[in-house]
Structure 1
Amino acid sequence: MKITVIGAGAIGGNLAAKLSTAGHDVQVADARGPEAIAADVLESGARAVALEESVQGRDVIILSIPFGVAGQLADLFASVPAETVVIDTSNYYPGILSGQIEAVDNGQIESVYTAEQLGRPVVKAWNAALAETQRTRGVPAGTPGRIAIPVAGDSDEARKVAMSLVDDTGFDPYDAGGLADSWRQQPMGPAYCTELTLDELPAALAAADPVKDRAVRDSMLERRAALPADPTLDDVVEMNRAAHR
């Protein structure tokens, strides 16, 4: 597939590298310009391109940008064909990674907000796994204990495309239904960054509670302060799991 990843940070850079390794034609764009894209992101064959040239003639566009800024790309996406699959990987952390967004604070689902700002439908994927999990713990399909990643979107076809790409990055894709249900994979629900298998993930998504999950999200800094000075990936995953026991 012809794929563009917009955003070359920890998530976007990893996805660009993994998807190009899997044989896809991958372009990477960043608002800071092609020169800002790290060399290791391009080692597997992905190409750095200018943002304004990145969205035409692509099958899939992955947005790995800070939550709340998708509206800045609305003009860029205005001419992108409707059949192009757009995948959103972002998460809302008010006061930490994002400014306060009233609509989301009042209950609008994160990716529904992103879709409105962008002016087109999106699929939610890769948001519910830590960057280090995505970088180091992807394994071939069929491997026992393979970590699962939920994928939500209103188009069955777009959701299938995103699920196929999740598989290509080393994780079992789980069909999490329409975008209206994607709140179940937002921070900090039982399915969020807890490294569950395909057998475990459905129950975790079903157990999500918007009030409790928001309280867990808002206590993240306090909980992280209780971790060792240099926490391991396992420390962080256990912290997330413990919040829902």
Structure 2
Amino acid sequence: MRIGILGAGNIGKTLVQRLSAAGHDVKVANSRGPETISPDVLAKGGRAVKAEEAVVDVVITSTPFMSIPKMRPLLASLPDDVTIIDTSNYYPHRGDKIDEIDNGQAESAWVAEHIGRPIAKTWNTIITASFDANDKPAGTPGRIALPVSADRKRDLDVAMALVEESGFDAIDAGKLEESWRQHPGAPCYCTDLNRDELPAALAATDKSRLAKRREIMIAAMDERFGMSINGEVEPAVRIMRALFL
């Protein structure tokens, strides 16, 4: 499969490596040009390209949330059968506040609306350190599970298959309008649940508490890791579980 990844930091970097190692033709682009992408990102066979060369059969956006609408000119005119997967999360303290999301619109629905395309949402509920270290072969007991939301079956199927190939169990989390169940502050957010635990966590999500829990999480992680949401895996996951489960 031809896969283009827009963004080479945190989750994007690991996705380039994992999906290249799985045998896919992976291209990666960032906002500063291919020459600025570190060689270690490409160690498993990925290729650094310009952004317009990375829009192929599957496009994964792994950039700051507020940057995604700027991609509309690049994404809106793609063929209908191209799957777009978003990995980002809305954190108001990192950029402009978005009234629609603050008033209850799911982040993924907002993204789809602003790029003019259906999307799938996944890889947003795991901290970078855990994503880097805790991938396991299919069938491994206790393998971490990640939720996948999408409106179109093709997008769901593609995203779930790639999640599995990246080393995690994929769980169908429903339509984009319900994807608030995987927002920051939700029970599944960075708590490293397995496939037996994740469905109940999704079902138990209280939408009215998400924003408050997100802000408490930011304060707790700041105190423990100095604003690095991607701190050491074990203490970070313990904090998330204590707050969200």
TM-score, length-normalised on structure 1? 0.95
The one-letter amino acid of 2:69's match is G
Unaligned runs of at least 5 residues, structure 1 = none
Structure 1 residue 218: Cα displacement: 1.1
Give 1:227 deviation, angstroms.
2.7
Equivalent residue, structure 2, for 1:146: 143
How big is the shift at 1:244? 2.8
Judge conservation of contact 1:17–1:46 (CA < 8 Å) in 2: yes
Structure 2: runs of 5 or more not aligned: none
In the other structure, the counterpart of 1:84 is 82
Q: Which has the higher helix share?
A: 2
Matching residue of 1:72: 70
Please, which of 77, 90, 111 is the counterpart of residue 114 of structure 1?
A: 111
Q: Which moved more, 1:196-205 or 1:226-235?
A: 226-235
Structure 2 residue 35 is matched with structure 1 residue 35: yes
Q: Which whole-Å CA distance do the structure 1 matches of 2:174 and 2:37 have between them?
A: 33
- Cα distance in structure 1, aligned partners of 2:164 and 2:95: 29
- Structure 2 equivalent of residue 163 of structure 1: 160
| Aligned twin of 1:222 | 219
2:185 aligned to which of 184, 188, 204: 188
Task: Report the CA distance between 1:78 and its aligned residue.
Answer: 3.1
Q: Determine if contact 1:66/1:98 at 8 Å carries over to the other structure.
A: no
Corresponding residue for 1:240? Answer: 240
Aligned partners of 1:211, 1:42: CA distance in 2, in Å? 42
Structure 2 contact 6–63 (Cα < 8 Å) conserved: yes
Question: What is the alpha-carbon distance in structure 1 between the residues aligned to residue 37 and residue 207 of structure 2?
Answer: 36
Aligned partners of 1:29, 1:228: CA distance in 2, in Å?
Answer: 29
Deviation at 1:31, TM superposition (A): 1.0
Task: Tell me how large the CA RMSD over aligned residues is.
Answer: 1.4
Letter in 1 for 2:91: Y
Q: Which runs of 4+ in 1 moved over 3 A?
A: 228-231
State percent identity of aligned pairs: 47
The alpha-carbon distance between structure 1 residues 207 and 41, as it changes in their structure 2 partners (threshold 3 A), is same
- Partner residue of 1:61 out of 59, 71, 79: 59
Which one-letter code corresponds to 2:237 in the other structure?
V
Q: State the Cα deviation string for residues 92-131 of structure 1 (Å, max 9, x = none).
A: 0111x33211211111110111111111000001001111
Of 173-182 and 222-231, the range deviating more from structure 2: 222-231
Contact 1:148 1:171 in 2 (8 A): yes
Change (3 A) 1:78 1:14: same
Deviation at 1:180, TM superposition (A): 1.0
Note the C-alpha offset of 1:68: 2.2
CA distance in 2, matches of 1:106, 1:212: 13
Q: Does residue 170 of structure 2 align to residue 173 of structure 1?
A: yes
Size of the alignment, in residue pairs? 242
